[in-house]
Structure 1
Amino acid sequence: MLADQGLQRKRQLEYQEELNESGKKLKIVFDNVEAGIIVVSRSGTITFANRQMAEMFGMSLTELIGTHYVDHLYESEKHAGIKSMGQIVDGNVKSVELDRRYVRKDGSDFWGHLTGTRFDNTDGSMRDQIIVISDITERKQAEEVKKILEQQLQQAQKMESLGVLAGGIAHDFNNILSIIIGNSYLAKLNLEAAEGYISTIEQAAERAAGLCRQMLSYAGKATCDIADVDIRALLDDLINMLKSTVTQNVAITYTNSTQIPFVKGDVNQLGQIVINLIINASEAIGSKQGEIHVELSNKDIRKGSQDTDHLGKVISAGQYVCLEVRDNGCGMEDETKQRIFEPFYTTKPTGRGLGMSAVLGIISAHNGALQLTSHLSQGTTFNIYLPAHVNSCGVDQSKQQVFSSSAWQGSGTILLAEDMQEIRTMVKSMLCTLGFEVIEAANGKEALELYEKRAADIKMVLTDIGMPIMDGYELFRELKIINPKLPIMVSSGYGDAAVTSKIERSEIAGLVNKPYRIEQLQDVLRTVVECY
């Protein structure tokens, strides 16, 4: 009996000694690992910490143990820290792994990657959680430096691309100006045929306006005008213009089906697709004799069809208008085909237009698809699929409306604020043609003074935005203070998005973007008169 008790006592002492030894070994491990380790109670109090954790917080073990875990979190991290601890306490999650920002005793901060694991009692209730934290400050700093360098690189690439872009835009504008100046001279020489020359001048001017809208779109300052577009008529106009733009060694041929449905989209952006593809094809041909063939057809892609786009993605079933642009130029190697749609990528020393990245973006925005086939020394073919608007009953937006002086006429007095004398004279003539009397002002300050003197006579205001002394924005605000119900229309070359970013759209009676035709101004004025 006594012998058994002695043996039991000996075993207990040996077990206790082994336990103490294991505890010492565990403490050595805890104190020598690179990660910080803490045990946090259900209430959030730190009940145990290793030496590394105390050093991370810049505290002694005595100072650290007994503090609340959340008190060591960076201020912006506390809400998320309390939420994640609550999820563990409630049993919604058993463990977490994430990055947290912490604060040291001296107020400095560091980043830590933590893993937190819940430990339960035998009855399933939470006993505590063990949190292991690794200092990842250097990694975070390296990531931040990398991010800054990437942003700087992107900015440098964009600045470089702007030079490329400017050269292309200047080329396009010079071509347009050549058409305008040349046809103006021909009209003077032959007044009987002037109407035909003037029509060509108008088309070129519309192209210049479209180019400006594309630049605003590139800068993120333009909105899309979605309408039913007769793409067949659009191509007729553009190809006729481009035939005089590309070099004489390049022939442009064009075929189309007789029944081409309308396409729902923005006429200027769709035109930009055609222009970019044809100009790129012309440059691929270079100085040798070559041909660009443009074809417009109907394409019915049935369900289960294996037609794929340039990325190998199956094109959705439906009816499409297919635009094909094919050249017999130099063709592309595989690397170029893979990179051609990257922003600002070019194989040419001087770029042109907004590039293939913009083309692909426009196609995607119109829910279309693109196919690309190209072989070195054999040429390139682009096929563009645009969803057909088969039952379209809209107006053909690619054709210019014809103004008639017998159409809608207004009445009353309009205050016109415009700093550029030539534009002010032209717009005044338009307004008078439409039945209005006009009071002119060369800037916002002058317009405000005129309104204060003649408020009883002025029915509405048409103001430019960019003016000296007082701009259109300030004039708008000052006039609304005097008369909140006064209809104010805005005429701007900056695009709708730029204007409505500073003035609520609901506050603007009407918007007309420069350059505009008299029928566009007429539509805006009629809407304002009917609404006010």
Structure 2
Amino acid sequence: MLDEKRFDGVAFVLDISERKLVEMELIQAATQWQTTFDASNDAIWILDEAHHILRTNKKAGRLFQIPNEGLGSKNCCQIIHGSEIQIPECPLLRSKVSLKRESLVLPLGEKWFAATVDPILDENGQYAGAVHTLSDITEHRNMEAQLHQSQKMDSIGRLAGGVAHDFNNMLSIINGYSDIALERLNPSDPLYEDIHEIKDAGRRSADLTRQLLGFARKQIVKPEIVDLNIPINQSVKMIQRLVSEDVTIELIQAPDIWLVNIDSSQLDQILVNLAVNSRDAIDGVGNIIIETANITLDADYCSEHLGFSEGQFVTLTFTDTGRGMDKETQQKMFEPFFTTKDEGKGTGLGLSTLYGIVKQNNGFINVYSELDQGTAFKIYLPRVDEVEEKPESNPVDVQSLTGSETILVVEDEKQILRLCQRILEINGYKVITADKPGEAIVLCEKFPGEIHFLITDVVMPSMNGKELHERIKRIKPNIKALYMSGYTANVIAHRGVLTEGVRFIQKPFSPKALVQKVREILDATKERTHD
């Protein structure tokens, strides 16, 4: 019998505290790294050499509406382009060759992204993968687009103003000589009707140039402080006549509306252009809603809307239930001569004139429109405080358009110079002419008698009309002046608004309008002298 012997086991105890601590630190570090990775507002992927996705952050999953676990086995081209075929301009391809950062701006749906690729290099400096980042730059692109559109509209405005100015010079000649000819002809003369047709065409052309000047913000305006609700109420009947009887007009007006400073004729232009636009957009039965309200724009709003500024404004919103506009049309709608109407049914100047009027009055405009969902034009006009009204001066009673005074006419367009001379001489005036400011000054210095009146163009080479008047007044202290131009200039007006006391006549003008203006100023001067 064998003796039973007891064997005790041998226990080995290893201290793994340090290893566990390291593991915990690694886990914590990995967690922190993933948390940071996921916190990025950009979509980030880590790719292998074949551009398969090894790791993504949460933004990438949300952006493409694919769970993170579904991204890992895919090629990034499948995710972005829906195909494994890489586009030639792909920054991944370029980065693999150049071994440096490459980037590309690309559209995805309605958003724009900056795609950036940073290569991952192995210990031998060879391409081993990449970090692919997609940054949402939609807002930046929108701001760029707004800036580009604003710059384009300003450029078109300058062009339109220049064209209108030069065209007005030509129309002054056409209309002026037409009037002179008609006064000399008997209505039974065969030429009378022909020349009358020329005059009518000139008048219609002058209306077009006025619209161009409205867009270019160079038309002459005489603003007054108004409560928008009052003129809008007065215009409802006019608007109803412009649109179909099937269109219902509704007014929603804030009761305590702030005051604005605007020329009443410009406000009429705004309402007419919007009404015509809505009439053409509504097929059959529809609605127009005209709203007024007070609003305060803060810095946050203005930072998202290029060209807007902080402050208090009155809004005029004109909404219709018409067919609406697509985005391409909205981008072009304020450009002169752009129209969606059939040939011969629109000049394309209505909305461009509206844009110019709003800008000239230091306002802003937003347009909201969707196809088949109607359109809303929202106009912002700056608030003004009520001021004491100045009494209107009594107009001079012009008994006769003729006179015998000596008038100096200065105009660098020689045909207009001859036209003014002809008009004035027909009405009895003695006329001296000069086509350059320097020549006019020399004539004044040499002229022995009194020169009663100066008619001068605003914009001329070497010297503007206001400066010329100041120089001539040193030689002929009692001389009075009348300024003329196809559009106003800063020497006469600030942002197109006539300064007090300045006499101005807009080209093209009729012979009667010119001599009436001259006679009015001369007679007013005589009355003040007698007083």
Normalising by structure 1, report the TM-score: 0.40
Q: With the length of structure 2 as denominator, give the TM-score of the two structures.
A: 0.40
